[in-house]
Amino acid sequence: MCTATTTTVRSADGTPIGVLSLGRGPGLVVVPGNNRRATHYETLARELADDFTVHLVDRRGRGQSGPQGPHYSIEAEAADVYAVLRETDSDLLFGHSHGGLVALHLALWRPVDALCVYEPVVSIGGSFDASWLPEFRRQLAVGRHGAAMATFLKGTRIVPMGDAPMFVYRAVAELLLHGANGAETRALMSATPAEVAEIARLDSDGRRYASIQSPTLLLGGGRTADYLTTALRRLHQLMPDSECRIRPELDHHAPDFLAPRTVANEIKAFIADRRTEHVEMGIRGAVRA
């Protein structure tokens, strides 16, 4: 089993960004989702480690990284990931959920050889409902973490429970907050308000993403909230060099928890196909010359 190493990269504004690295081969940077740290993607990284050197980012506000800061924005997070790409000499990028949104915004100004995103939380035409955010903030401010987590789960619908009543969400929240990783989960919740506010601020018709030139895999699951897969399909319509794959058996937590091997295989296949296309284009160009 390959050994993981931990390093720190400085972002453009001086914020330290923790990075967990393992594997061998071309560099692939992984950007985690909300309430997630680099360590939550270690199984995914090990599935990729025979083909790539995988660099798992602790986004700001987590682990060894610095705080979100008073001027938090998606642009600041994109700058963090760019610093990791540059420091590790990587040109492959994967982002999950909020990390997928960060990856898309980085690709708007810094193309990569291959961009893969799993259910990025992109709000198109108000598709992401953030009306629950004020209540979440109030609950978090008075230390009602269980109630706040239930509000988050029901509001985002990232757990496939349909229209279950709030007491069901409260039960799931209590399991999350009192399990083996409960203390860490409670600590990570403090980063949620700023991130959700950014998702709402960035709501648009989606056309900004049409300028992304990187070859892109838009990946999602059939057992997830419809606003996430609808956004994927819309992005596919808009982005000139993209593929959209919806795996019916997967839900939102496939990369970090339920199906990392399946997601890793999708990433590997997409990058391999793109490399083959690149080689074939080079051969055709040489023949024409």
Return the domain boundaries, the chain: 5-123+204-288, 133-192
Residues 74-118: tens digit of each pLDDT? 999 999 999 999 999 999 999 999 999 999 999 999 999 999 999
Residues 21-47: tens digit of each pLDDT? 999 999 999 999 999 999 999 999 999
pLDDT band at 280 (very low <50, low <70, confident <90, very high): low
Please state whether beta strands 53-57 and 16-23 pair in parallel, antiparallel, or not at all (unpaired): antiparallel
Q: Which residues contact 90 (CB under 8 A, 6 or more apart)?
A: 26, 27, 28, 29, 53, 55, 84
Upper half-sphere CA count for residue 82 (Cβ side, 13 Å)? 17
Residues 119-173: tens digit of each pLDDT? 999 999 999 999 999 999 999 999 999 999 999 999 999 988 878 999 999 999 9
CATH architecture of 5-123+204-288: 3-Layer(aba) Sandwich (3.40)
CB atoms under 10 Å from CB of 89, counted, come to 9
Please say whether the beta carbons of 227 and 97 come within 8 A. no
How large is the C-alpha radius of gyration of the chain? 19
Task: Show the tokens assigned to 154.
Answer: 């029901």
Residues 253-275: tens digit of each pLDDT? 999 999 999 999 999 999 999 87
CA distance 163 to 53: 41
- Residue 55 pairs in a beta bridge with 21, 29
